[in-house]
Amino acid sequence: MAERKASRTAVLVCQGRAAANERLAVGRFSDRVAVHLLTAAERVPVEHVRAARKPSGFGEQLEYELLTATSEVMATRTVMIDDAVRDAAHPQLVILGAGLDARAWRMPELSGTAVFEVDHPASQQEKRERLTNLAPKAASVRFVPVDFAVDSLAEALAEAGHDPDHPTTWIWEGVVPYLTPEEVADTVSKVARLSAPGSRLVITYGTPSRTASLGRKTVEALLALARHPNPMAAEPNRSTWRPAQWQALLSGNGFGITDDRDLLTVARDLEVPSSQGKSLAVGRVLVADRD
Ligand SMILES: C[S@@+](CC[C@H](N)C(=O)[O-])C[C@H]1O[C@@H](n2cnc3c(N)ncnc32)[C@H](O)[C@@H]1O
């Protein structure tokens, strides 16, 4: 099997946050760190979207549309997740599949929180190189390399100093679609075993939609036609979920769902535009608390 490379979708969503910063959901969303995690080449399409300047090449135009839609999703889901993290105010935050998440470097509310960044080793290594000399705002940041499909989450977190006897907020943002249903169920049961009463699990997921999956396939085909790099090429979607399935899985693992909303509704409340309503409509954020 080919050695797995660092996640490209992690770069795409980081570009989305950099493009949305102080433009979308102003006053509720901001991520000034995102741009610092990008290379000079990765910042170019971000600047196009920020300036609402459509580039001339076909591939670049596709990238522009993809990034515009991504920035709308990112601003919206980040507001919901950040609110859930602040509201819980737990002493430990575990970010599962952290990618280029900048919360530990941008949220002053984490000054008393130990943050554990769990990610696939290749993605995590690349993030550490990109961080250069950024100083975290969190009390501490520990990097925990884990492949959900093969490694032991419990062992890796214990080694990093996570204490399962104290409440934890878990963020699982933009990762579930890339895992099989079995890997998702297995990870939920591992998370449950490491969650003291009151712990919180925040999950983003995609609901089944033929239109959305056709839309993604079309974008991928057009990117190939334009010979433009496709950030989704090596990371196929492996699972979609309905709210009732989460209800069953989470309640079976001792979590009660306290919030579960579609992103289009949240975007409308935040006055975030929806240039591609479908990307927002199929995405959901749920918050569940441990009994
Ligand atoms: C779209 S990115 C999301 C990153 C971050 N959570 C965010 O929202 O910015 C997907 C992330 O899932 C991680 N991931 C996917 N499959 C994984 C696996 N089997 N084990 C660990 N991490 C995985 C990737 O390394 C990547 O960081």
What sign does the dihedral 176-113-262-234 (CA atoms) show? negative
Q: Report how far residue 115's alpha carbon sits from residue 136's, in angstroms, rounded to the nearest whole number.
A: 10
Distance (Å) from CA 172 to ligand 1 centroid: 9
Neighbouring residues of 42: CB distance < 8 A, sequence distance ≥ 6: 11, 15
User: Ligand 1 pocket: which residues have CB below 6 Å?
Assistant: 7, 9-10, 13, 97-101, 119-120, 123, 146-149, 173-175, 178
Determine the atom of ligand 1 nearest the C-alpha atom of 171: 6
pLDDT in tens, 186-227: 999 999 999 999 999 999 999 999 998 999 999 999 999 999
Q: Report how far residue 141's alpha carbon sits from residue 239's, in angstroms, rounded to the nearest whole number.
A: 30
Q: Rounded mean pLDDT of 85-102?
A: 98
pLDDT in tens, 140-151: 999 999 998 899
Mean pLDDT of the chain: 96
Flag whether pLDDT at 18 surpasses 80: yes
Q: What is the identity of the amino acid at 122?
A: A
Determine the atom of ligand 1 nearest the C-alpha atom of 10: 2
Q: Rounded mean pLDDT of 5-13?
A: 96
Distance (Å) from CA 36 to ligand 1 centroid: 19
- Of 50, 38, 82, nearest to 231 by C-alpha is 38
Q: How far is CA 288 from CA 18, 37, 80, 236, 259, in A?
A: 28, 30, 13, 26, 7
What are the domain boundaries of the chain? 9-290
Confidence at residue 276, expressed as pLDDT on a 0 to 100 scale:
75
Asked if residues 31 and 101 have their Cβ atoms less than 8 Å apart, the reply is no
Residue 200: in which H helix or E strand, if any? strand 200-206
Nearest CA to ligand 1 atom 20: 147
Q: Report how far residue 56's alpha carbon sits from residue 216's, in angstroms, rounded to the nearest whole number.
A: 22
Q: Rounded mean pLDDT of 170-182?
A: 97
pLDDT in tens, 259-273: 999 999 999 999 999
Q: Rounded mean pLDDT of 60-71?
A: 96
Q: Report how far residue 159's alpha carbon sits from residue 107's, in angstroms, rounded to the nearest whole number.
A: 25
Determine the atom of ligand 1 nearest the C-alpha atom of 122: 25
pLDDT band of 3, cuts 50, 70, 90: low
Its CATH class, for the domain covering 9-290, is alpha beta
Q: Rounded mean pLDDT of 152-176?
A: 98
Nearest CA to ligand 1 atom 11: 97
- Of 171, 176, 205, nearest to 191 by C-alpha is 171
Confidence at residue 1, expressed as pLDDT on a 0 to 100 scale:
37
Q: How far is CA 224 from CA 59, 228, 233, in A?
A: 9, 6, 10
Flag whether pLDDT at 50 surpasses 90: yes
Confidence at residue 16, expressed as pLDDT on a 0 to 100 scale:
98
Flag whether pLDDT at 2 surpasses 60: no
In degrees, to the nearest 5, what angle opens at C-alpha 40 toward C-alphas 45 and 174? 60
Residue 255's beta-bridge partner residues? Answer: 290
